[in-house]
Amino acid sequence: MTAETKDVAVTPAAAPADTGANKRLVGVGIALAVMALMVYVMARGFGTDPHSVPFLLSGKAAPPFTMKRLDTGQNVSLEQFKGRPIVMHYWATWCGPCKYEIPVLDAVARQYGDKVVFIGVVFEDTEPNAQRFVRELNWSFLQLFDPKSTIAVDYGVSGVPETYFIDKRGIIVTKSISPFESPRELSAMITSTILKD
């Protein structure tokens, strides 16, 4: 008997996978997932109104306060405005956007008259600076001084300008963290939040 030799094909062992490419793909996948999550959270959290932002006091009673008037030095409390809607605006003399927003706030305060209480609150500034500033610009609405920013802390103010919209029940409906550019824009916010009842 003769032994036949067969040609046996030898297959080379599979090459190890390129781990560098796999790591890059995983990294890209994670980055895309994180970006998608951020877009979703921002869209759901902030909505479409650039002035309205979610915050812890939304839908809760406005913290009580007693502050001094800039013009007379008399104390003013939140309790005095019970049953009336309030626009409470935090500002400072060193705040550039606040200066541009003043004519808007003043025009709308005059427009609403007694229907809505407008209150300006000085934030992180000196009383003499604020008094001089208000006199020069002749604001038509009440201005209060929060010397140690304790009321600002109670309200969760993180910077200026910030405007709080408090309904006639004393509930903070929303707040705005950017300046209003026109009376119509501010008026629309008032109508859709604290005067919609």
* For residue 146, pLDDT beyond 90: yes
**What value does the mean pLDDT of the chain take?**
84
- Burial class of residue 48 in the structure, from the number of CB atoms within 10 Å of its CB (0-12 exposed, 13-18 middle, 19+ buried): exposed
Distance between CA 132 and CA 148 in Å, rounded? 19
The structure tokens 């970006």 sit at 35
Q: Say which residues have a Cβ less than 8 Å from residue 23's Cβ, sequence separation at least 6.
A: none
Domain 66-193: state its class.
Answer: alpha beta
Distance between CA 36 and CA 176 in Å, rounded? 26
Total number of residues shown for the chain: 197
* For residue 105, pLDDT beyond 90: yes
> Which pLDDT tens digit goes with each residue over 34-80?
776 665 545 554 444 444 555 678 889 999 999 999 999 999 999 99
Q: Per-domain residue ranges for the chain?
A: 19-48, 66-193
* For residue 115, pLDDT beyond 60: yes
- Predicted confidence at residue 50, as pLDDT, reads 47
